[in-house]
Structure 1
Amino acid sequence: MKFNTCGNSTSFKMADSSNAASSPGRHQAFKVLYDLTDDLSALGPDELNPSFASIEREDKRYDLIEEIAAGGMKKIFRAYDRLTRREVAMAVLVDDAPKEYFDPFIHEAWITAQLDHPNIIRIHDLGVNEDRRPFFTMDLKSGQSLAQIFSAPSNFQPLETFSKICEAIAFAHSKGILHLDLKPDNIQIGQYGGVVVCDWGLAKFSEKDLTPEPEIGSWDLNNESTKQTGTIHGQIKGTPGYMAPEQIRQDEPKTIQTDIYGLGCILYFLLTQKPPFGGSYDQIMKHTLAGDLQEKLRHNRHIPKPLKAIISRCTMQSPNARYASVVDLLKDIRRYQNGYSPAAEETGFFKEAGLFFLRNRKLCLVITASFITLALCTSIFIFHLIESRKMELQSRLRAEKSEFRAKKALQLYEAEKQALSELNEDYFSSLRNMNQLRSFSYFYQKPQRALEEQIKSQNEFLQKNPNDNQVRINQAYTLIIKLDFTEAAKCLANLRTPAPQGLAELCAIYANDPRFLKNPSEDDLVEVIKSARKVGFSNYRLVNKILIYDAAIRKNKKGYERVVREVVHFYNPEWSDIEFFYTPKTQHLKLGGKNLTTLGVFLRFEDRSLLSYIKLRSLDISNTDAYNLAHFQHLLLLETFNISGTLISTPPTEEMFPRLKTLIISPGQFTPEQISALSEWLNVVIQK
């Protein structure tokens, strides 16, 4: 007998009625089933559907179990969902959070809920608790953060993990949303390799490049808590070492390249198991603004060169120099994994050939073996061919012995002639190199003599090689150092190729100008440097040589600070809000303005400050972008030096500034140990 119970009725199906009627045991079974039917009819709805009844009776959905994380104005709890019978993660505001944080908190949940991607944390529920404070629930992840994964042994694949992170961020960008807080602590790694990007609390809509979807773009997120910075919580937030420079400089827009910078820092962490920078908060910020990660990458021997190129492009100081999108970054990672060179790496023929061999090892080995076999067979054939003709050649050589001697003599003559020609070429090549060397190191020591010898060498060379284009251009440069634009224009008149940008234009302006035929004044020199900047002349080294030569021959240097100011402006074309106030009586210079970074010339034989051509006993560069004390080499008379508010973090030495007496710095600019060492030989003043 079979039976089915459905609601309050019971249906029966007799398997064998004749046998059931004749068996007492089966009579008893029928009686039990009949009684069961009566019992089912007596049951109420709650007893028939206990699960539904239990859900219907619930007046409280979540039970908080324990706090598992906290940060900023938010706490994360492990909670039990009574309705779905599972554990979830619940985000709530801290107890003392003001009400102006309620909307940004809700917006965080809204934005995260739009990102339905397997590598992004999922939002389950959003509501208001009994204390009338908002909360939202999300996946409860049992894995480790990216910052913890290296502490335990595992089959961790850094590039596969990074690719999944990139896929998640690319998806968010497609929705018009930026993360802005990418760091290892916000990446969760599951037990079986799952990757989840968490904590979208600083997320915002991109100010350019991306357009939010219509549903998202219609939300009013511009409340008072987000107007100031555009972040969800209305504050400048981020993690030092993983923040892009534009996040530190509040007046710059945040774009998809801001997230790409954070991805580059995460890739650096994945490959080195260390953060990009160490040290204090201020030190990390200075390293970030100075772009020191690029130099750090160049000296790292453990990261493969292609991946260093990818990280370098991700973390460029200028957002425009980074990848255009996360998709482009992901393509470069895939190219590297598949054995190709990434677009960010500059490779040559041999590197590409090596990569081709690695990608097609078997095919290349087969082809190589075939070539070796072919070469071997060809060699054997040639050997036999030579042997077969050997006797013939010997007899022919005996018959043509006299003719051969004549030809041999002619060949020796031609070889000697060729050797002589090559010797001349080597001589003139050496002469060109000697001129080039003299134009560098020797010039800085004895500019007048070096210039005379260089012109003499160039004239000798041009007598032998009148059509050498490069030497004519070099001679034009040499004459411009003397401000002899008339002769320089003649050198450029017969060039077979165009002159470098701005060179011909500058010569054309001042050729046959009577001011430059005798002794040009300081005002004339200032005008020349200004004109060079206007016509696009960009040879910084030549402008520096003009300054060195003029300073060496000019006897009266009263007012020479005007020349130095214009040279500094030439080296810093973006210099704005210019401050250059020189007091001859006290020999004090106040220097300031934006985008003022280069104040020195660095060569392998000479480091010299552009300010060394005026007498300085006191120098104030406070609140500028100066970052390197080497820019102030050869300021041997300097007694007072104000570097407060700059990016200089390396203390001066007594060898660099032998007469320095007073150094003015900002609080925290140097460590107590550095200040103590400086105080042994000079007076350190901390500017409040």
Structure 2
Amino acid sequence: MAPEDNFADGLGDIFDEAYNNSETHLTESLKSEEDIYSDFSLYSEGGLKRIELCYNRKTNRKVAMATLKDSTDPQKIEVFLREAKLNAALQHPNIVPVYNIGLDQEKPWFTMKFIAGQSLKEIISELHAGEKNEYADLNTRLDIFLKVCDAIAYAHSLGVIHLDIKPDNIRISKYGDVVVCDWGLADVEASNCDELLLEYCSVLDHDIENHTLIGTVKGSPGYMAPEQTTKLKMRKGCHTDIFSLGCLLYSLLTYEKPFDAASIEELLEKTAKCNFPKPSSIKRDLPFSLEAVCLKAMSLEPTDRYLSVENLQKDIFAYRNGFATNAEEASFVKGLKLLIMRHKSLSIAAVLTLTLVLILTSVFINNLELSKTNAEQLSEKLLLEKDFHEQMGVDSAPLFLQRALDTYVICSFDESLRFVNNAVSRDDTILEAWLLKGKTHFIREEFTAAYDAFIMGGLTKANKLVKLTEKYKKIKLEDHSPLSIKLYLELLADLRPLQNGDIFGKVIHYKAFGNLSLDDRIAFCTGVIKLIHGPSTTRKFVFNFDKETKHLDLSNNPWLRDSNCLQNFPAHSVDLTATPITNFIGLRGQPLKSLNISHTKIIEMHSLTNKEIKNLNISNNGIYNITPINNFPIEVIHIQNTPISNCHDLTKLSQLKELHLHHGQLSKSELDKLSPQIKIVYHPKNQL
């Protein structure tokens, strides 16, 4: 035997041994305990989260990982995970898929498909700059738009609205894949969603902390709908996404944003009024049909927009196929012109006319029979579906009622009304739902609707609350504007003796977070304080607000216990010295930079949510723990004559410049823990 034959046999034995192993290299790699993700590199960064590219060792592919920038805030964690889970529930080829969700040392993360390519914003910017690319052709850009519409239509079918559609949130891969990203502002319409998605309507701690910020802008200026600004009070829904799709089409046609301005306030004002230049004023050669589609989608009134994304798509397809769009309301002459353009070979059409008539007549007769059969089958199907949904509706009514009660408790009255309306529409025999609906309408000054709901809930016309509702119902019928401050205070005075503390406090809360002028807000606050505290206010009542410095002085009011009406007051500094208040609830929503609560009855800091405070005086109180304010940008703090005796939390105030103590409050060893840059100011020690 030749030597090379022996070599070949030996080589064969080596390969046989390798493939006879019970576990391959791939199996071993799956058992590896090392980190699944490696080779991280920063891709992009926003206000809430950071996107990094990394390598998944187990699947051997590059993925995008989203992480929360601030993982110390439980509310932000809830919002972050809600986005991840909601995005993961959406399975569509034009929606970026979420692969995995997890925690890394209590820090949340989720991975998703990495789309190598460009954002639509980058593509439009190139076209605006005159650079040539494959998207210079209008039909190619319309292909992108239709794929975005497919994704949004799918989301709407599940009751999910995106609320942040813009070119920056749409990515196009180098192979033509189009995906809609960033569902961080997405919401779920309880009335339309699948019951499995109701969990995404749950009240988050984030909502609890921020529910009072009525009018907060949520969306991207330049592409948001009028109802997303602070200027209008209209409910957001599928029509909001349709408006943003119209803005997207506007940019694809003109390479410009529909709304632009020098300041954010001016931009929101233009958006609220739908004040934007027509596309044809920017690009004079635009097809009239496409401009009509764009303008219809961007109508100010939601009822004037397309009823659904599918209807918007139909008009785009109509334009591309040479038909008139519904948006342009084409005349007979225009329709005839389009027909001729679609059929240029008139001579051939003339020759074939007779044949076509005979064929079409036969087809028409057959289609009539087929349509009749289809209609009967569809009718049977709809009856079965109706019975099924009616039964499902009754069974889910208590769930909607519970959601309504949860949101009512935290004063999220718009959401509460949505849920309770769903409850009574599914089962109108639940009296508790009708009573809650009546209370919510009453709080919102919708007295006619409140009166009807109270009656449906079993209250008689002799009921004191019903009588009060009827009184203000008549006032509102005569004057449809919101109640004046004088009438509002009369309403509270009428309501208080009824012992409806539940409604009384929430009526105050609703008004405090309404759109009030400064003078009306001052009149409202002083009126409510006098109403609640009674004769005490006649002896001495300090309420001074400097409109220039925005300083509110409420000091030395020894009877002032309830300050809830002060929520959302535009004060930059507040002095509550020598008052018996016990918590910070009345300060919620205030843009405070400075606060003085010395000589009060406050003993805890958990209810202080004004996270921009720089100057804080908590002296001469029983406060012993300032852990809840560790992340505040405190520069000056007074803790003299308090039980605080160590530097544990003081060292965590990273921006602290000045510390006020009483003599002997901190030992030398404790003071040595502080930065030498901090100025120490001593005060006499009083009896605690």
Larger radius of gyration: 1
